[in-house]
Amino acid sequence: EKRLLNALLASYNTLERPVANESEPLEVRFGLTLQQIIDVDEKNQILTTNVWLNLEWNDYNLRWNDSEFGGVKDLRITPNKLWKPDVLMYNSADEGFDGTYQTNVVVRSGGSCLYVPPGIFKSTCKMDITWFPFDDQHCDMKFGSWTYDGNQLDLVLKDENGGDLSDFITNGEWYLIGMPGKKNTITYACCPEPYVDVTFTIMIRRRTLYYFFNLIVPCVLISSMALLGFTLPPDSGEKLTLGVTILLSLTVFLNLVAETLPQVSDAIPLLGTYFNCIMFMVASSVVLTVVVLNYHHRTADIHEMPQWMSTNIYITKF
């Protein structure tokens, strides 16, 4: 291997695009393996994932006859000693921008190169929480060469079905629907040349079981107790006490719920709208209870019928 490495890298130029014909683009097959969804930050609009990239290309300058080098068919070479495509995630939210860990490149005798760097990726994602907690989110991970245009480097989707999900670790809060991939060729305003990118869309759906049993069911039970106040007789002193107690209980419960709701102002969550309606209904029942008790306890000794009301009653009677 030592003799082979010296022979291959003696005159190798890491800045040279490894193609036989300079006028042809170098084809790079690109794939992605999703290992885990680490975090979905609705407030900052950031998706954090554990991902393995998969890049394959053929280096014209790294070919040898294995019979001349003791039957060595492949080598592991550090990426800083080879030319490798500068593929980055365009919509990265990471402080260092590139979140991959540099691993060795597997080079075979025919010149094929395999580079599989793992990494923790933070990508920007526009999230819509209108239907929270029954919402779906679609987050893009856009990869492409940072300096090579489509005439120099052609990025090809490795699997037409999208990303590899065979080793995906399930998330307790989100259910993975799928991860399709798509190749795009875009001409930007800065440059006349077309640039190629591969975009993977991570489609996830929120698991609602936790929110249903811990938020929705208790709220429905508390609010339904407000109806019991109308079944009590008007002269019962506990009629108003029950309504106020329910209102206070619901207020305390909503303070706990507010910590669970996504802290964004782009849209009003469905669950937040539901709780506001429940609060309005319970508060209205308390007001109506006060009105009913007020009229029930009025007597002729302390209250006098208004003149307009007695006149209307007299006219209606005759």
Instruction: For residues 82 and 62, give the distance between their C-alpha atoms in angstroms, rounded to a whole number.
Output: 9
Q: What's the whole-number mean pLDDT along residues 218-247? A: 80
Q: Is the pLDDT of residue 291 over 90?
A: no
How far is 105 from 283, CA to CA, in rounded Å?
Answer: 67
Average pLDDT over residues 85-95: 92
Domain spans of the chain, in order of start = 2-206, 209-317
Q: Which two tokens stand for residue 45?
A: 């609009």
Which pLDDT value is given to residue 300?
64
Q: Which tokens is 318 given?
A: 């005759």
Secondary element (H or E) of residue 157? strand 153-157
Contact 30, 87 (CB under 8 A): yes
The structure tokens 């698991």 sit at 207
pTM comes to: 0.84
Lowest mean pLDDT among 108-112, 208-212, 236-240: 236-240
Residue 206: the pLDDT is: 95
Q: Is the pLDDT of residue 309 over 80?
A: no
Tell me the per-residue pLDDT of 65-88, one tens digit each, with 9 for 90 and over. 988 888 899 999 999 999 999 999
Contact 189, 61 (CB under 8 A): no
Separation of alpha carbons 81 and 87, rounded Å: 17
16 pLDDT above the threshold of 70: yes
Higher pLDDT, 315 or 133: 133
For residues 296-304, give the mean pLDDT.
Answer: 68
Task: Using the predicted structure, report yes or no on whether residue 267 has a pLDDT greater than 90.
Answer: no
Report pLDDT for 263.
79
pLDDT of residue 301: 65
Percentage of residues of the chain with pLDDT beyond 90: 49
Contact 106, 114 (CB under 8 A): yes
Q: How confident is the model at residue 227 (pLDDT cuts 50, 70, 90)?
A: confident
Lowest mean pLDDT: which of 14-28, 84-98, 109-123, 288-302? 288-302
Q: How far apart are the first and last CA of the chain?
A: 118
Cβ-based neighbours of 243, under 8 Å, separated by 6 or more? 226, 229, 282, 285, 286, 289
Q: What are phi and psi of 18, to 5 degrees?
A: -80, 80
Q: Which pLDDT value is given to residue 139?
A: 96
The predicted model gives 145-154 an average pLDDT of: 92
* The domain defined by 209-317 carries CATH number 1.20.58: yes
What are the pLDDT digits (tens) for 97-143? 887 888 999 999 999 999 999 999 999 999 998 898 899 999 999 99
For 2-206, CATH number out of 2.70.170.10, 3.40.640.10, 3.30.390.50, 2.102.10.10 equals 2.70.170.10
Higher model confidence: residue 178 or residue 249? 178
pLDDT value at position 305?
A: 65
Task: Give, as one character, the DSSP assignment of residue 110.
Answer: T
Q: Is the peptide bond before 85 cis (omega within 30 degrees of 0)?
A: no
CA atoms of 222 and 71, how far apart (whole Å): 77
Question: In the predicted model, is pLDDT for residue 310 greater than 80?
Answer: no
In the prediction, which pLDDT does 132 show?
87
Residues in the chain: 318
Q: Three-state SS for 192?
A: coil
Average pLDDT over residues 294-307: 70
> Which comes out higher in pLDDT, residue 152 or 70?
152
Continuous H helices in 259-298: 270-296
Mean pLDDT of 255-261: 79
